[in-house]
Amino acid sequence: MRTFIKSFCFFILISILGCASSKPLNTPSGKPEVTIQNKTKKEVTDALVSEMLSRGFTIKSVSDYTVVFTKPLDSFAASLLFGSRYDTTPEHRPSFMIVESGAGVRIVLTNQIITNPGSAFERVTDASTGESGQSWQEFLTAFPNLFRGRVGLYVDDKAVVTNVIEGSPAMVGGIVKGDKLVSVDGIPYSKTTQLVGDPDAQVTVVVLRQGSELSYTLTRKILK
């Protein structure tokens, strides 16, 4: 029975973190990474910190080249797979190396799950590769969009708005958490890049709320 439960929880957990395998990614480091051009290291770091904080992470440490974030993994599946008798709540600890290079500002992610966080008995599970790494690669691939015009929405894989940035065009316009995106500029919604474009350009977003479709015309802004 316990084996069945662990297997079941594993499949639940990979929906959150992705499957951690040893297969490297098709990147220079084999880990999630991206190089951003025409931005300073400070601009990139500030944008990354803001984005991670909006996703519920807190800053664990900062150095000249690395920013480490942390967030408890307090689900039952995470506790069963990565918890211990000493501490049942493991920790998600992504570490971003940020360096200037000739091509721009390079970000490389080391993604870790920590058992017994903060103790002398920490155990590290690297989740920088495989499906988990690919999920973070998608995050980094989309990351440069933060420097383009946005409306200020966070949307899950079911097209449901999970967060609206304070003071953003979406919040001012009236879109709220829980709305479901239907279309963007008349095209059925399928990916968040549809919401990104030139600053000060208008975009029409249709959402479903309590069975009714509502249309909003928003002006994209560069958000910080």
Helix residue spans in 55-195 (DSSP H)? 76-82, 130-142, 169-173
Helix residue spans in the chain (DSSP H)? 2-17, 41-54, 76-82, 130-142, 169-173
Reply yes or no on domain 18-147 having CATH 3.30.310.80. yes
Put simply, whether the predicted model's pTM sits higher than 0.95 gets the answer: no
CATH class, domain 153-219, is: mainly beta
* Per-position pLDDT tens, the chain of length 224: 444 344 434 444 444 454 445 678 999 999 999 999 999 999 999 999 988 998 899 999 999 999 999 999 876 565 666 666 666 788 999 999 999 988 899 999 999 998 888 888 888 999 999 888 999 999 999 899 889 999 999 999 899 999 999 999 999 999 999 999 999 999 999 988 899 999 999 999 999 999 999 999 999 998 87
Instruction: Kindly list the distances between the CA atom of residue 6 and the CA atoms of 3, 80, 125, 191, in Å, as whole numbers in the listed order.
Output: 5, 7, 17, 33
Domain spans of the chain, in order of start? 18-147, 153-219
